Amino acid sequence: MAEIGEGFRFVLRHPLLRPITATTATFQLFGGMFDALLALFITRELDLPPATFGLVYAIGSASGLIGAASGARLTRRAGLGWMIVVAASAIGAGWLTMSFAKGVPAIAFAILAAGFVVAGLGNTLYNIGVASLSQAITPDRLLGRMNATRLFIGWGTLPIGSLIGGFLGEAIGVRTTLLVAGIGLASGFLWVALSPLRKYTH
């Protein structure tokens, strides 16, 4: 218990790890809401075939490869902290874009695909940046506890978001719930954007 407490104190008191963890928790909370209803949104609201679900995820994953290849160069140019902020804003913008998908199938698919490309690119850059930063600023003896704490808090909101998404989908409708989730995701970058992280250049 003492080691767990030490990990929590280190992360929650650190001026860079705290906003990163809050951003991740926000993404997982509202991302859980989005994921819970995305299949219904694609097949029922947009009237697209079920295969679309896998296709847009594949497109998003492909864009992640571009992010992986360009991460080091972007870090050198913009600084690690600023890259994390920009990547976080891209994640939110991409998911919010998806919530506006509508129209004939070709247009609806194009909007979904564009959102997945932006979110996928941002997600890869964000994960690379956060992993690099976390390891760089954490003493070796605390690395395990730091990672465990950050994952517990950051990802612990995912199932909560899924439950909320299912409930709201029934109460206010799928599209409205996804718009709420998209706005929440788009706000997630504020934790890092308004923190000292944006000035971290190492």
Question: All domains of the chain, ordered by start, with CATH?
Answer: 2-199 (1.20.1250.20)
196: DSSP letter: G
Residues of the chain by 3-state class (helix, strand, coil), percent to 5: 85, 0, 15
Q: Give the pLDDT confidence score for residue 71 in this predicted structure.
A: 67
- Mean pLDDT score across all residues of the chain: 90
Q: Which residues of the chain have pLDDT under 70?
A: 1-3, 67-69, 71, 201-202
**Residue at token pair 């109460």:** 171
194: DSSP letter: T
Question: For 104-122, what is each residue's pLDDT tens digit?
Answer: 999 999 999 999 999 999 9
- How much is the pTM? 0.92
**Residue at token pair 């896998």:** 54
Question: For 71-108, what is each residue's pLDDT tens digit?
Answer: 677 777 778 889 999 999 999 999 999 999 999 999 99
Provide the 10 A C-beta neighbour count for residue 9.
Answer: 12
Helices (H) and strands (E) in the chain, counts: 9, 0
